[in-house]
Structure formats: structure tokens, C-alpha cells
Amino acid sequence: MTVEERYMSDVESILSHRHDNGADLWTTPDKRLIKGAPFSTIESVMYLLELGMEPEEPILKAAADLIFDTWREDGRFHVYPTGAVYPCQTILAANALCHMGYASDARLRKTFQHLMDTRHTDGGWRCKKFSFGRGPETENSNPLPTLTALDSFRYSDEFRDEPSLDRAVEFLLEHWMIRKPIGPCHYGMGTLFMQVEYPFRNYNLFVYVYVLSFFEKARTDKRFLEALQALEAKTVGGRIVVERVVPKLAGLSFCKKGQPSALATRRYREILLNMG
């Protein structure tokens, strides 16, 4: 897929922010790859891919090299030069590289194994950072990193059919029933979750259904089917209408709030295709 002419202005807008954080490729001089949202390195790469830019384009190849520069021998990605390395950071870096076509790279295979080996007891992934204090709810994994990890694993020929990933799927399906904020970072399913956000950035109904639709365990589950029905109810003429977008992306044409999005609808049709 290549960038359509109607989206070239979006590409140019994203590229115009590539030095905002003090260095090239949307990063800081000390390579903080998730700083500067919504125009961090990892997020900007994902937008360009969503718009149809080929991973072979020089700027995306350079961005991939930059992300791989933060890879460590144990499989983690140290996307900040100092401080702890949290699972969510490794997951975000791995996911971007998977979307760029590097899922079979030996380094990512090692990352996949690291993630498999470091799952929480409920099958998901959990950062040991308790910004909201500790309570029974923080004993759960963090839903969004778990969902993003599954989005990465679906690209892996080696791991995507691993039966133990069903535990992570089950954890996320159970959250559909719990609804309340869980995990150390307090991810819930309230009013904001039920709004269709695009492009995929935060934990919301659209990305939840999209990622889970790639997993057989989810596709026949009553909880998933309820979530899919909720998403279908929000479509207009079979198209996805964007209900929420981060303000700094509001000027981009592919994700206008209150309007149908052709690219978001393409993702929705992938869900339907996955459902057979």
C-alpha cells in the first residue's frame, strides 16, 4: 500500500514535527522514543504506516534503526536512557517494529520470548509502577499493554498460535465484564472507552475489538461478540465515524472527529474479514 494523494498533506504535517523534541525522527537528543506525544517517535511511525507509507521508505528505515538502537540483549527495549525499563515500553517498541515488517528479526524473536517469560499470573503484562497507589485492582495486568502485546504477537509466525496467549485474551475478555479500572495504571471501560478513537493510541472499543478479532479464542466468545455488536452499532452506513481524536491530531484529514474515516473503516472491514 502507498500513500494516496489525499493523505499527502497528513504525511507532510507529521513530518513537520520530526524535530520538535530536539533531535531528528521525533526523538530527543538522548533518544527518548515515547516522549512528545502525540508526535513521539513510535507514535509518528505508526501514523505514517497507517497512512500507507511503505516501511522501505528511508525515513521509516531510519526510524526502525533508531528503535533497534534501544534494544538490549535480554530482549527489552530501553526507550528512555535512564530509569527502569517497563514492559509497556518494550511492548510499544516491539509493536512498531512488527508493523514495519521486522517480526522475524532475531532480536524481536528474543523480545517475544522475553515477553512470554515475563507474563503476570493472569496471562497479561503488568508494570510494577503504582501511580494510583495499591489496591486489589492493581493485582491485575494492565489491559492496554496486554492488548498491544497481542497486536505484536499476531505478526510472529513462531508465537502467534501459542496456546498460552489465550490466557491474555481471556484476561481482556474478562475486563469486558469487570469494566472498572484495573491494573497499576487503572485502565477502565467507561464513557471514554466506548467512544471510537482513531488512530489507535489509547484503550478504547475500536482497538479492543480490532486486536482481539485476530485471535480464535475471542472470535466465538460471547463477551467479544457483545463488544463487536457495540462497535457495529456505532457505524454509519458501514463506515467508522471518529468520535474521539487527540486535539493535536485534529487537523489531519484521515481522522476528523465526527466524520467517517476511510482508513478507520478499512480497519473495521479487517475485523469483519477476520470474523469470516
Question: The whole model's pTM is what?
Answer: 0.96
Q: Tell me the C-alpha distance between 130 and 138, whole Å.
A: 8
Closest Cα partner for 149 from 113, 189, 186, 194?
A: 113
pLDDT band at 1 (very low <50, low <70, confident <90, very high): low
Q: What is the pLDDT of residues 232-271, one digit of tens each?
A: 999 999 999 999 999 999 999 999 999 999 999 999 999 9
Worst-scoring range by mean pLDDT, 21-25, 78-82, 141-145? Answer: 78-82
Q: What is the pLDDT of residues 146-173, one digit of tens each?
A: 999 999 999 999 999 999 999 999 999 9
Is the C-alpha dihedral spanning 27, 31, 36, 41 positive or negative? positive
Residues 29, 22: contact at Cβ < 8 Å? yes
Q: What is the pLDDT of residues 69-125, one digit of tens each?
A: 999 999 999 999 888 899 999 999 999 999 999 999 999 999 999 999 999 999 999
Residues 55, 48: contact at Cβ < 8 Å? no
What's the mean pLDDT in 127-140?
82
pLDDT of 192 reads 97
